[in-house]
Structure 1
Amino acid sequence: MIKTMIQHAKKHPGLIPQFFFTTVGLTGAILYLIRLAKGPHVTLWDRKNNPEPWNKLDPTYQYKFVAIQTDYKNLKKEGPDF
């Protein structure tokens, strides 16, 4: 695969930045996923020693939920009035 990338880059030098940024993006994504897997609270990849990781969190742990406050009085109706 790398050999074909080098051959394409020799024929079309405009592809070199695309190959570079794609490689950098994939490397960053992989490193980020590895960092997430080693989280302090829940280890998702250790299924033998921790099959249900949510049971080991203490009751005071604050979960991250999304709360969107909307004023329902100002919303437009999408249907006709009957």
Structure 2
Amino acid sequence: LIPLAVIMITAATGASTFSMYALKKSDVIIDRKGNPEPWETVDPTVPQKLLTINQQWKPIEELQKVRRATR
């Protein structure tokens, strides 16, 4: 019974810790009245993922050519 209690406590602690972490991220909206347009405060250069390993933003050449051609 003790191992089951330890596993349940560990799972509950992990779930609550992840919930608090997810609520602090910028892509989660909690206060709609205080900040009605939160998408204006999001920095586009910061990746909005849970885990990012060695990611660097580079423009895709084909998309840049299409954008230049459609202007």
TM-score normalised by structure 2 residue count: 0.48
Which structure: larger Rg? Answer: 1
RCO higher in 1 or 2 (8 Å CA, sep ≥ 6)? 2
TM-score normalised by structure 1 residue count: 0.43
